[in-house]
Amino acid sequence: MKAIVCTALACALGSAHAAQVAMEDQSQLKVPPASQAPVFMPPAQSELPDNAFGKMVRDGYALFVDTQRLAPAYVGNGMKCSNCHLDQGRMAHSAPLWGAYPMYPAYRKKNDKVNTYAERIQGCFQFSMNGKAPAADSHEISVLSVYSYWLASKAQIGVEPPGRGYPDVAQPAGGYDIARGKQVYQQQCALCHGADGEGQKVADDYVMPPLWGKDSYNWGAGMHRINTAASFIKYNMPLGKPGSLSDQQAWDVAAYINKHERPQDPRLVEGSVEKTRLKFHANDGVNLYGQTVEGVLVGQGTGK
Amino acid sequence: MITVDRILISSLLLFSLPAAHADPGQKILAQGGANPAAMACQGCHGPDGLGLAAAGFPRLAGLPTGYLSKQLRDFRDGTRRNPIMEPLAKALGDDEIAAVSQTLAAMPAPVAPGSRRQQMASDPTEQLALYGDWSRQIPGCVQCHGPGGVGVGEHFPPLARQPATYLVAQLNAWRDGSRHNDPNQLMVGVAKAMTDDEVKAIAEYFAAGQEARP
């Protein structure tokens, strides 16, 4: 309980526009601190049985790593599940599926209800993939759930394992600086993600994901929060060199990335960025949606 | 007032004038540079630029322009060491490097295999190529070098159909420090984390061009 209060406090402090109603971000599902060493080991691929269950696991796996190509009806951008969940959903501190599956059903303030695991994945499609949620009993949700279940084999139900989620990176005392973040971006990120965050493709397929613009995650995705992006970046980026950026660099570059336009929040309230900000963003961690940065209103979306 | 358009147009004119006579890159490829020490590329890399696998000379045809010119400059600067290429690159002028890089980049490359990451790997080498080994912070090769190792953009060269001996030599050069021209030191850690057996196996995997299984 104490941790929940602290989290709420941190959110309120971090937001320039704290409203009266305390609305937490996803962290009501707690993330163990990075100081707790991950111990859980998901099963090896060689342990996968060659039967109907194994086939579903393989189908879920394929969809996880090649989402846009295999489920174009549900993906509205160039992202794959494995872009934000490294090592195919196996890696600790990269929101591994084995840390997510055992925690649902769970209440989420984001939609103010108890979410099943299927509903949680539907949220990924709606926001991170800027698409349309497959039905809860669809092939897509089924195989992704089966893949998650398999990775979580022998995990304890309802116990938060160390390595779950992206560990919090406390906001530096001096806050963050977008201009410094731009420098970090140019030095450390542009090589793969492009000078203008556009990602890189081979033929029609993204190999390195776009970080902003029309093919990236939308304004409703958890990654639009600077705190969440900083956590992801600190523990996962640059690819193959996690932990090489300082906390300050992670926050600065997360702010630089997340001040850029991306597809509109699909929950847009009456066409108004301000109303949407008040309802969904004012107490959702640290984010720039609906705020004016360098004289420009952030959160206008990229259009269709 | 000089507009950006005008600057662009004048630059285009400047660049297009020499091209109107002959392709200077083609001349360097076939006959060498103005300085005789800059020997013709085709002597080792072949008139088609596809390299000479038996000798470990890499394919240059179809590699990205920016990558090729960076390597030539790096041979000059010594951040990439090679007894044959260093004196040769030092004998090339900046415009010669630009010209020959463009010519080579435009030459046809062999087709890379269309393997994708969506199937689980059947053996440890494919596992390393497609997914890496994150317990050692090794990303899958194709995560940066593209599907089948086809190469991505200006910074991530193709691995597909490069001679195995060349790929082994490069991985070992990252490991012993004789090559340290990787942007953001992305390769050195990966190469150092690999075992001798993995270096050999992964080189053969991309040299052969593994086909995706159905």
Chain A residues with beta carbon closer than 8 angstroms to that of B138: 240
When divided into structural domains, chain B yields a total of 2
Domains present along chain A, CATH in parentheses: 2-30+168-297 (1.10.760.10), 45-151 (1.10.760.10)
Same domain (yes/no): B75, B12: yes
Q: State phi, psi for A156 to the nearest 5 degrees.
A: -85, 135
- Judge whether residue B214 has pLDDT over 70: no
Same domain (yes/no): B96, B147: no
- The answer to whether residue B58 is domain-embedded is yes
- The answer to whether residue B115 is domain-embedded is no
For residue B93, what are the domain limits?
A: 4-106
Same domain (yes/no): B81, B10: yes
From first to last of the 304 residues of chain A, give the pLDDT tens digit.
444 444 444 444 444 444 444 444 555 688 888 889 999 999 998 899 999 999 999 999 999 999 999 999 999 999 999 999 999 999 999 999 999 999 999 998 888 889 999 999 999 999 999 999 999 999 999 999 999 999 999 999 999 999 999 999 999 999 999 999 999 999 999 999 999 999 999 988 999 999 999 999 999 999 999 999 999 999 999 998 999 999 999 999 999 999 999 999 999 999 999 999 999 999 999 999 999 999 999 999 997 5
- The answer to whether residue B51 is domain-embedded is yes
Q: Is B141 labelled as part of a ligand binding site?
A: yes
- Predicted confidence at residue A45, as pLDDT, reads 87
pLDDT digits (tens, 9 = 90+) for B119-142: 778 889 999 999 999 999 999 999
Same domain (yes/no): B65, B133: no
- Judge whether residue B213 has pLDDT over 90: no
- The answer to whether residue B193 is domain-embedded is yes
- Predicted confidence at residue A19, as pLDDT, reads 41
- Judge whether residue B3 has pLDDT over 90: no
Same domain (yes/no): B88, B148: no
pLDDT digits (tens, 9 = 90+) for B97-112: 999 999 999 999 888 7
Same domain (yes/no): B67, B137: no
Closest CA to B156 of B186, B126, B113: B186
Same domain (yes/no): B65, B18: yes
Q: How many CB pairs under 8 A join A and B?
A: 66
Secondary structure in 3-state letters for chain A = CHHHHHHHHHHHHHCCCCCCCCCCCHHHCCCCCCCCCCCCCCCCHHHCCCCHHHHHHHHHHHHHHCHHHHCCCCCCCCCCHHHHCHHHHCCCCCCCHHHHHHHCCEEECCCCEEECHHHHHHHHHHHHCCCCCCCCCCHHHHHHHHHHHHHCCCCCCCCCCCCCCCCCCCCCCCCCCHHHHHHHHHHHHHHHHCCCCCCEEECCEEEECCCCCCCCCCCCCHHHCHHHHHHHHHHHCCCCCCCCCCHHHHHHHHHHHCCCCCCCCCCCECCEHHHHHHHHHCCCCCCCCCCEECCEECCCCCCC
Section B174-185 average pLDDT: 91
pTM: 0.87
Q: Residue B148, exposed/middle/buried by CB under 10 A (0-12, 13-18, 19+)?
A: buried
For chain A, positions 78-97, list CB contacts with chain B under 8 A.
Answer: 82, 86-88, 90-91
- Predicted confidence at residue A21, as pLDDT, reads 46
How far away is chain B from the Cα of A283, in angstroms, using its nearest Cα?
35
On whether any CB of chain B is under 8 Å from the CB of A207, the answer is yes
Contact indicator for A76, A301 with CB cutoff of 8 Å? no
- The answer to whether residue B213 is domain-embedded is no
Contact indicator for A130, A185 with CB cutoff of 8 Å? no
- Judge whether residue B12 has pLDDT over 70: no
Same domain (yes/no): B100, B139: no
Same domain (yes/no): B46, B81: yes
Same domain (yes/no): B98, B136: no
CB contact under 8 A, B117 and A65: yes
- Predicted confidence at residue B23, as pLDDT, reads 87
Same domain (yes/no): B69, B148: no
- Judge whether residue B34 has pLDDT over 50: yes
pLDDT digits (tens, 9 = 90+) for A70-101: 999 999 999 999 999 999 999 999 999 999 99
The tokens 């963003």 sit on which residue? Answer: A281
User: From the CA atom positions of chain B, what is the Rg in Å?
Assistant: 19
For A48, other C-beta atoms within 10 Å of its C-beta total 16
- Judge whether residue B64 has pLDDT over 80: yes
Same domain (yes/no): B141, B100: no
CATH number of residue B58's parent domain: 1.10.760.10
Q: Residue B3, exposed/middle/buried by CB under 10 A (0-12, 13-18, 19+)?
A: exposed
- The answer to whether residue B16 is domain-embedded is yes
Last residue of a domain, one of B41, B73, B106: B106
- The answer to whether residue B114 is domain-embedded is no
Rounded-to-integer distance, Cα A162 and Cα A183, Å: 33
- The answer to whether residue B72 is domain-embedded is yes
Residues of B with CB under 8 A from a CB of A: 116-121, 127, 131-132, 134, 137-139, 143-144, 146-147, 150-153, 155, 183-186, 189-190
Section B73-99 average pLDDT: 94
- Predicted confidence at residue A28, as pLDDT, reads 65
